[in-house]
Structure 1
């Protein structure tokens, strides 16, 4: 059996209360007594039950994280930022994934709430209209969105939802403007399903902004189910007519861009000789490719760090549970409303993009 605090106190020759004071407030006992207790802890292999202590105090010091997947390293980088910040603030992290299925978001959040998390960081399919976020607001559970970007035009309470992201629309516009600056006039967008990612839709709007600003006709977006699936049939159709085929492909994320480069090569096409490929995310592996993947870089680890610190600030400023429970259901939660962090993005230049061949211009 695991050693108890009672055994530690007995071996050290002190009271249970003294051991408890040392564990909770290390400076509250004398150095001599602390040394005896630490020796007893080491001898017995005692591990304090912080979970029990935190629950008695009314919180678990644990935050939940819901992301679409960990197969895209963007979310793994974000989780790294969350974990490091949580550790610095003495919080623990529990996470789960939805595999880009909007219907799984509620189940994922319910799972975390069942483990008594104090708040949630999450990336959802649509932050502007989302039943899971509505539930969290009704239950007065603090949450922060990561990567989701709420537009100023969003109605209702959506504008109040805390979020940390880059400006997806402006970043995509910058990427496409860069391609236009290289001389590309026929640029097509490759994206995940718009209904599974409001970020992809915002990036498509940025694509449209850049094309329209340059007086160019946008091409229909190619939507694919998952970044790991081949879209070879789409590429064959896209490249069939040399006179009208695109000279550049703007992808809504880097894994789609890398998949596109693979499939285009399989069709005997050269990147960037026959077609340039631009990504979005700036994942580190893109810089290891040959050619290097040109991409919009978003600071994923910083997004996680800022989201965690924003959430913890909300948790620790929240109303006591007893007071909150006495308020009418309509009473809003004031602690994180309106906190929207837009972090800077950058363009990573790479050999996957180049001016179009003269015959293609």
Structure 2
């Protein structure tokens, strides 16, 4: 197999971005560092013309797409929008998933650069601290983030206002009489979107004079969700009466886990999701959720990127509207038990 930019970085003991800067001449390196990179390239027989778009005037008419997961329908909807907009302009897609792993993000971007894609659309764990984006910027390859929202103005994205959405979720639940609230989320380190939703949710609750929500971070595995919920809901007189889940797949898992430990949704506990995946409307109870316009987001990101590649302005950050979709999984706050704390089924 031919050597890759990752192999060069490992041999030279430097970052991928450093190798890219050396090859593309986009930044100054210390002489000793440049010498190590050059020696690694020579030893490995690396062909640098496969790295950066800036090294060639040719175009491949291909776009790279990097998403966290192939199993979450929200990303499938976005890719569908990307594909539609790309095919309309004669572009093909090369895509991969990272399973919410930052190291995999760098590997994915490195591989796509070697295939000389003209630009990338990607969702990363954290747009503020993302080595994969550093690598793209060093290589001079245009990109647009999807779902992420970076504080850096130079990092363009198509997204929604996740903080505002979190606030609206809190407002909706408080208006229904819920005063003890909780949130169930995947790892915040793997999703800056979930962090933003949590921040808005918490800020609105505290601003209205209620206790901060109890927050659970879990893996997307039913057994762990169930075990965590048993502990959270053990004392029914102090447990949350409503749970906000960072995405719809997790909300579906939470509803199933609550039923298995003897609690009904929404009579005992309300559950609200995020994303608006289609299956949520076919469940019983149907899912109350924040709907993201994923297909439109994918199309918008692609059109921005293609406009840049065709000589237009650089991609910019665009905030698209979301909406709260009312379903059956959220209802008025349950009344306190007249007999005191109840015992839940215990799982081991």
**Measured at CA, do residues 121 and 227 of structure 1 come closer, stay the same or move farther in structure 2, by a change above 3 Å?**
farther
Q: How does 1:329-340 map to 2 (within 5 A)?
A: 335-336=313-314, 339-340=316-317
Alignment partner of 1:235 is 2:229: yes
For residue 355 of structure 1, report the CA deviation from its aligned partner: 0.2
Contact 2:205–2:213 at 8 Å: present in 1 too? no
> Helix, strand or coil for the counterpart of 1:313?
helix
Pick one of 251, 270, 275 that aligns with 2:269. Answer: 275
- Find the counterpart in structure 2 of residue 189 from structure 1: 183
Structure 2 CA distance for aligned equivalents of residues 173 and 59 of structure 1: 44
Number of aligned residue pairs:
284
Alignment partner of 1:149 is 2:149: yes
**Measured at CA, do residues 207 and 241 of structure 1 come closer, stay the same or move farther in structure 2, by a change above 3 Å?**
same
Pick one of 285, 288, 291 that aligns with 2:285. Answer: 291
Structure 1 CA distance for aligned equivalents of residues 85 and 224 of structure 2: 37
Deviations 1:311-361 (A, max 9, x none): 11111227xxxxxxxxxxxxxxxx426x11000000010100000122269
Deviations 1:206-262 (A, max 9, x none): 111220222111133100122666411111111111210100000000000000001
- Find the counterpart in structure 2 of residue 257 from structure 1: 251
Structure 2 CA distance for aligned equivalents of residues 208 and 86 of structure 1: 39
**Measured at CA, do residues 229 and 72 of structure 1 come closer, stay the same or move farther in structure 2, by a change above 3 Å?**
farther
Contact 1:228–1:255 at 8 Å: present in 2 too? no
- Find the counterpart in structure 2 of residue 176 from structure 1: 170
- Find the counterpart in structure 2 of residue 97 from structure 1: 97
**Measured at CA, do residues 70 and 229 of structure 1 come closer, stay the same or move farther in structure 2, by a change above 3 Å?**
farther
- Find the counterpart in structure 2 of residue 312 from structure 1: 306
- Find the counterpart in structure 1 of residue 6 from structure 2: none
Structure 1 CA distance for aligned equivalents of residues 282 and 302 of structure 2: 30
Alignment partner of 1:120 is 2:98: no
> Helix, strand or coil for the counterpart of 1:144?
strand
Alignment partner of 1:266 is 2:268: no
Contact 2:181–2:214 at 8 Å: present in 1 too? no
Alignment partner of 1:65 is 2:59: no
Contact 2:273–2:289 at 8 Å: present in 1 too? yes
Deviations 1:245-281 (A, max 9, x none): 1000000000000000010001111000110000000
Structure 2 CA distance for aligned equivalents of residues 230 and 82 of structure 1: 34
**Measured at CA, do residues 227 and 257 of structure 1 come closer, stay the same or move farther in structure 2, by a change above 3 Å?**
farther
> Helix, strand or coil for the counterpart of 1:159?
coil
**How big is the alpha-carbon RMSD for the aligned residues of Structure 1 and Structure 2?**
1.8
Contact 2:144–2:301 at 8 Å: present in 1 too? yes
**Measured at CA, do residues 176 and 107 of structure 1 come closer, stay the same or move farther in structure 2, by a change above 3 Å?**
same
Structure 1 CA distance for aligned equivalents of residues 249 and 221 of structure 2: 6
**Measured at CA, do residues 145 and 227 of structure 1 come closer, stay the same or move farther in structure 2, by a change above 3 Å?**
farther
**Measured at CA, do residues 197 and 229 of structure 1 come closer, stay the same or move farther in structure 2, by a change above 3 Å?**
farther
For residue 103 of structure 1, report the CA deviation from its aligned partner: 1.1
Structure 1 CA distance for aligned equivalents of residues 202 and 131 of structure 2: 29
